[in-house]
Structure 1
Amino acid sequence: MQVNGEPTDCTVLVVDDAAAGRYAMGAVLRRAGHRVVLTASAGEALVELDARLRAGSLPDVALIDVGLPDMNGFDLCRRLKALPPMAALPVVHFSAAAVGPLDRCRGLDVGGEAYLTVPAEPEEIQAVVRAAVRHARMRSGAENRVRRLTLLAETIVAVQAARCLGELADAAAEGAARLTDGPAAVFVLGEDGELHVGSSRTGVSYGIRAPIAAGVGGAGGRSPGSGGVGPPDRSAYDAVRRLMQRGMAGRTGVRRIVVPAPLWPRGFFRPAVPDDARLVLARHQDGTSLVCLATPVDAPPGNGGPGGHHDPDGLVPRLATATALAAEPLLMYQVERRVALTLQHSFLPKRLPELPGVDVVVRYVPASRQAEIGGDFYAALRTPDGVLALVGDVVGHSLEAATVMVEIRHALRAYCVEDSEPNRLVRRLDRMLQRYHPDATATVCMAVVDPATGHTRIASAGHIPPLLVREGRDAEYVEVSGPLLGLGLDRPPPAEVVLGRGDRLLLVTDGLIETRGTDLSVSLEQLRTAAADAPEGVGPLCDTLLDCFGRDREDDIALLALRLE
């Protein structure tokens, strides 16, 4: 309780070994409306404070007599200030004997907030207590605001660093939970109606990270209806989607609404428990994404208790705005990725042509990371000189990389009609990139195989060398090299090998083996060893290598293996 902005209902700990002094000080403080806890020694005070600390009810101020029998008041103050949970407790020293300037200085030096000479007028005692409590609360409020602003800044950094909408939603939910001291859920709704859900670990996390299309349940973690902790059925997501759309109804900016428990699906905060939900909706003025930060109106037990779930300085709307801004480029990139994958799937052949005398298989695996668009490609073509097989990779991860990949494949198909000599093909592709895509580079490894003789010519442009797996023998890399496409540099002559019946030639892109923190030579040796131990046949060879190296890769993977029949 406050009167004219001043605290009048504080809990005051009085430490005084004189019974008359304790009584008199307690009477003055009680008349002012304060609750008083009386102790007769430093030991009793420490026991009392420890019990109150465990109960979460420390006093608002401590009045400590300087001349205590077991420990003087200065040493008691120093000890309290050295304990982090009690360091913020304001201490007022008082004494009837130690009243000189040096005593007052000593009290301030050990961390005390004020010094009283007793006996003192009741008004002076009350004023000193009010001032000490007021200053402590102001300091505590400022420190708490700094802490919360730091949490907000850390969360915004995490949100902006997210590589996909699932990571963004999870980062925002975790930040909202820390700001409100309770569970939180975040929903990002794209223009196409796709809903991305993140949940905090502070409260109940049901692990939904994958995008949820309109009318479709979650595809990651535990999906609704699976018996996990999540919402009871898929209709929960449709209900949230409708609430978000109706709540903003074409508006931009930030809007706060409270949704009563009957309208808010159970399970987003606590398992099977109805909660009123406080929603903060945000949409950028020029954006298409709609963000919803949802928290329960009342804090559940264990997350702050009554009144613990709150946003006193309005930081959650700021977080919602930052999340909406960060979602825009990710949504645009998601659309770009979808277009790029469509291009890749449209122009990469779903079925290889009939190639007499040569058994060829390919495997293509898009990047597992949602925020990556690769430019990997492959081809197997019939030419006048034999079978042309290649894999390549346009440098970069973007829609442009995918379109350049398509142009390289079309140009290659046209060029090899007249001339399939691999080095000349590489030079022509190099000139094409310099002329039409001067900022683009690409790697490629191509081989022309004569099915009748097994004679094979191989050219490389900055690509991983092909691996030759001999029938019944070891595997070895073909020594071939050359600069990337698009640089206009001189090229060494092609390598030549002869394939025997049953020998297999393997071409791969670096997405199969390149791993951050691992030297490429180590990865190449691991690939060579695994290929040498793989079962016979080109299909089993590719499948074995994908099982060994192809899980959860951040880049696209293309493999092509051929064998003379």
Structure 2
Amino acid sequence: MTDDVKQSDTTVMVVDDVPTNRYAMGAVLRRAGHHVVPVASAGEALSELDIRLRAGALPDVALVDVGLPDMSGFELCRRVKSTPSTAALPVVHFSATAVDTRDRCRGLDAGADAFLSVPAEPREIQAVVHAAVRRARRRTEAEALAHRLTLLSQAVITVQTARCLGELADAAAAGASRLTGTPAVVFVIGPDGEAHHGTSRSRLALSDAGPHQAAARLITRIADRRAGVHSTVVPAPLWPTGLFRPGARDDAHLVLASTTEGRAQVCIATPASAAPRRGAGNCATGRDGLADDRRPIAAFPAERLAEATALAAEPLLMYQAERDIALTLQHSFLPQPHRLPHLPGVDLVVRYVPASRQTEIGGDFYAALPTRDGVLTAVGDVVGHSLDAATVMVEIRHALRAYCVEESDPRALAERLDRMLLHYHPDVTATVCLALLDPGTGRVRIANAGHIPPVIMRAEGKAEYVDVGGPLLGLALERPEPSELVLNPEDRLLMVTDGLIETRGIDLTTSMEQLRTAAAGAPPGLDALCDTLLGCFGHDREDDIAMLALRLG
């Protein structure tokens, strides 16, 4: 016998209605070290298979006499092979009479793996059984390998499409759980030590963050920013209780991965009982610090998944750092509501809501500035989503502050901003709506550069968009004259960026009508107006939201 099939691990079912034949065949197999299960008929064989199937202990091979009394060995084989739960069981037909070519072909057509003519030498019987078992085990291993590779590829694809570090950790934990068949917890730790964790179980299963924080600190000490992929086992007394199963204390098998740059440290943790027995201790790594490609991919699926998660975490960490910088830039240059300048004769409320954390930062802004001719308000958006967009937003806002010291006409200001953008950022476009309000008369002049027009809400409960348009900034196109209207003391004027209402797959005209309807039905007051609209439209947005509402004070 070769080392891939051991007789002591092999159970053979012998199906023969003649007791002496069953005894003789069984004796040959037992002497070779096999476990033998003798049965006397096809019906008894099917019943025995059913019992063993429920117990999870199917035989490794069935030797079936062709001439059984209740049904032929061919029909028994056909039934076994047509049942999904027993289809992989190797069947070897044997007979002392049905030995011609036609009989052998009938057996093969029924799904048999081999045909044995008896009487036969013991060595031949053993060789046929061994060959059938070897083929079946290799086929089963190949199917298991394909299944593991499929699960691994699905997990890697899900990990690579994650939009944020929390989503990445959850995807990796779900994939690791499917690969190992056990609960899994995944930690993604950035260069600043900030840890994001994901679990294959419900987040409600462990509401206390303490165990996750303790595990993250332990992982950081073990990893020590070591590049590559390696694994270790943490004894239960050192591993936080309940991370895998509520109240359970488990040894933890940790697979740790870090890319060469070392910005992201990933740890996949599973109960140590699920860890592969092969390669105990640290697994091999290549010169690049990643898993050695000479090893079978599916033999170490958790290591490969950890490696893919670490690679996917790198750009997300870089994006998060850029996003944090852009948010800081926006918040530092946008006036906070409690720091807005005092504007006599005008009540003003602003709102600024950054996009959802998994989306890119935008270039939305608002401004409220005193001028010699009244109060100038502006709401705008730099086209694009990046740190560059946020930077250009700051430039536009500061340019507007500088220009309005000597010039207050909205159209003239839009033209100046257009020239500034063309000169310094010829590849960038932006939208802006500018409104100049004279608090003494209520007269408002509005210029628009490709932006959503303002909504005016009259005292009688009606809301309508101001009829004002114009090309985007950065296109060097002629601008129309500003629109004019008179704001009464009970009226409110609302200016917003499209992040409030723009929804993928919905026409902007439809969204604008929904906004107008909601504004018309909003309760009195500026704060109530803004809060109502944010409650209607401001959830999980893919773009920043800037709002400015005013009325005569």
Alignment TM-score, normalising by the size of structure 2:
0.91
> Pairwise mapping of residues 285-324 of structure 1 onto structure 2 (< 5 A)?
285-299=260-274, 313-324=299-310
- Tell me the alpha carbon deviations over residues 28-87 of structure 1, each in whole angstroms, 9 at most, x when there is no partner: 222222222223333222222222222222221122222333333333323322322222
On the 8 A contact 1:206/1:230 being kept in 2, the answer is no
CA distance in 1 between partners of 2:110 and 2:416 (Å): 82
Pick from 327, 331, 335: which aligns with 1:349? 335
| 1:259 matches 2:266 | no
CA distance in 2 between partners of 1:12 and 1:53 (Å): 15
CA distance in 2 between partners of 1:198 and 1:500 (Å): 55
Aligned residue number for residue 246 of structure 1? 221
CA distance in 2 between partners of 1:298 and 1:230 (Å): 25
CA distance in 2 between partners of 1:494 and 1:77 (Å): 88
On the 8 A contact 2:359/2:543 being kept in 1, the answer is no
Tell me the CA shift for residue 25 of structure 1: 2.2
Secondary structure of 1:14's match? strand
Aligned residue number for residue 210 of structure 1? none
On the 8 A contact 1:12/1:35 being kept in 2, the answer is yes
On the 8 A contact 2:149/2:298 being kept in 1, the answer is no
- Tell me the alpha carbon deviations over residues 103-149 of structure 1, each in whole angstroms, 9 at most, x when there is no partner: 22232233221111222222111111111111111111112112112
CA distance in 2 between partners of 1:525 and 1:320 (Å): 48
CA distance in 1 between partners of 2:11 and 2:219 (Å): 45
Change (3 A) 1:416 1:113: same
| 1:398 matches 2:397 | no
Change (3 A) 1:312 1:14: farther
> Pairwise mapping of residues 91-490 of structure 1 onto structure 2 (< 5 A)?
91-200=91-200, 205-207=201-203, 222=204, 229-230=206-207, 234=210, 236-299=211-274, 313-350=299-336, 351-490=339-478
Tell me the CA shift for residue 250 of structure 1: 4.0
Secondary structure of 2:524's match? coil
On the 8 A contact 1:7/1:134 being kept in 2, the answer is no
- Tell me the alpha carbon deviations over residues 455-501 of structure 1, each in whole angstroms, 9 at most, x when there is no partner: 22222222222211111131111222233222333333333222222
Aligned residue number for residue 550 of structure 2? 562
Change (3 A) 1:112 1:420: farther
Query: Which amino acid is the alignment partner of residue 27 of structure 1?
Result: A
Tell me the CA shift for residue 261 of structure 1: 0.8
Aligned residue number for residue 218 of structure 1? none
Secondary structure of 1:563's match? strand
Change (3 A) 1:560 1:131: same
> Pairwise mapping of residues 42-81 of structure 1 onto structure 2 (< 5 A)?
42-81=42-81
Change (3 A) 1:183 1:533: same
On the 8 A contact 1:333/1:371 being kept in 2, the answer is no
Change (3 A) 1:278 1:492: same
CA distance in 2 between partners of 1:81 and 1:38 (Å): 20
Change (3 A) 1:15 1:431: farther
On the 8 A contact 1:426/1:485 being kept in 2, the answer is yes
Instruction: Output the aligned Cα RMSD.
Output: 2.1
CA distance in 2 between partners of 1:79 and 1:395 (Å): 67
- Tell me the alpha carbon deviations over residues 333-371 of structure 1, each in whole angstroms, 9 at most, x when there is no partner: 111111111111100001221122221111111122244
Decide which moves more: 128-137 or 76-85.
76-85
Pick from 538, 541, 544: which aligns with 1:550? 538
On the 8 A contact 1:390/1:446 being kept in 2, the answer is yes
Tell me the CA shift for residue 440 of structure 1: 2.1
Decide which moves more: 107-116 or 171-180.
107-116
CA distance in 2 between partners of 1:229 and 1:241 (Å): 15
Decide which moves more: 178-187 or 11-20.
11-20
- Tell me the alpha carbon deviations over residues 198-232 of structure 1, each in whole angstroms, 9 at most, x when there is no partner: 111xxxx252xxxxxxxxxxxxxx5xxxxx5356x
Aligned residue number for residue 14 of structure 2? 14
Secondary structure of 2:273's match? coil
Secondary structure of 1:393's match? strand
- Tell me the alpha carbon deviations over residues 151-192 of structure 1, each in whole angstroms, 9 at most, x when there is no partner: 112111111111111011111111111111111111111111
Query: Which amino acid is the alignment partner of residue 34 of structure 1?
Result: H
CA distance in 2 between partners of 1:39 and 1:525 (Å): 79
Secondary structure of 1:69's match? coil
CA distance in 2 between partners of 1:497 and 1:547 (Å): 29
Pick from 487, 511, 524: which aligns with 1:499? 487
Decide which moves more: 550-559 or 130-139.
550-559
Percent of aligned pairs sharing the same letter: 67
Tell me the CA shift for residue 318 of structure 1: 1.6
On the 8 A contact 1:369/1:553 being kept in 2, the answer is no
- Tell me the alpha carbon deviations over residues 295-347 of structure 1, each in whole angstroms, 9 at most, x when there is no partner: 111149xxxxxxxxxx9711211211111111111111111111111111100
- Equivalent pairs, count: 529
CA distance in 2 between partners of 1:24 and 1:176 (Å): 49
On the 8 A contact 2:17/2:40 being kept in 1, the answer is yes
Change (3 A) 1:400 1:63: same
Query: Which amino acid is the alignment partner of residue 5 of structure 1?
Result: D
Aligned residue number for residue 292 of structure 2? none
- Tell me the alpha carbon deviations over residues 422-453 of structure 1, each in whole angstroms, 9 at most, x when there is no partner: 22222222222222222322222222222222
Change (3 A) 1:67 1:420: farther
Secondary structure of 1:267's match? coil
Query: Which amino acid is the alignment partner of residue 364 of structure 2?
Result: D
CA distance in 2 between partners of 1:370 and 1:281 (Å): 25
On the 8 A contact 1:7/1:133 being kept in 2, the answer is no
Secondary structure of 2:299's match? coil
Secondary structure of 2:85's match? helix
CA distance in 2 between partners of 1:543 and 1:443 (Å): 24
On the 8 A contact 2:114/2:128 being kept in 1, the answer is yes
CA distance in 2 between partners of 1:379 and 1:517 (Å): 30
Aligned residue number for residue 526 of structure 2? 538
On the 8 A contact 1:381/1:388 being kept in 2, the answer is yes
Secondary structure of 1:85's match? coil
On the 8 A contact 2:359/2:542 being kept in 1, the answer is no
- Tell me the alpha carbon deviations over residues 14-35 of structure 1, each in whole angstroms, 9 at most, x when there is no partner: 2223333322222222222222
Change (3 A) 1:382 1:312: closer
Tell me the CA shift for residue 193 of structure 1: 1.3
On the 8 A contact 1:230/1:268 being kept in 2, the answer is no
On the 8 A contact 1:280/1:316 being kept in 2, the answer is yes
CA distance in 1 between partners of 2:542 and 2:245 (Å): 34
CA distance in 1 between partners of 2:327 and 2:62 (Å): 68
Query: Which amino acid is the alignment partner of residue 484 of structure 1?
Result: L
CA distance in 2 between partners of 1:478 and 1:15 (Å): 90
| Runs of at least 5 residues in structure 1 that lack an aligned partner in the other structure | 208-221, 223-227, 301-310
On the 8 A contact 2:145/2:298 being kept in 1, the answer is no
On the 8 A contact 1:92/1:113 being kept in 2, the answer is yes
Decide which moves more: 6-15 or 527-536.
6-15
Change (3 A) 1:43 1:481: farther
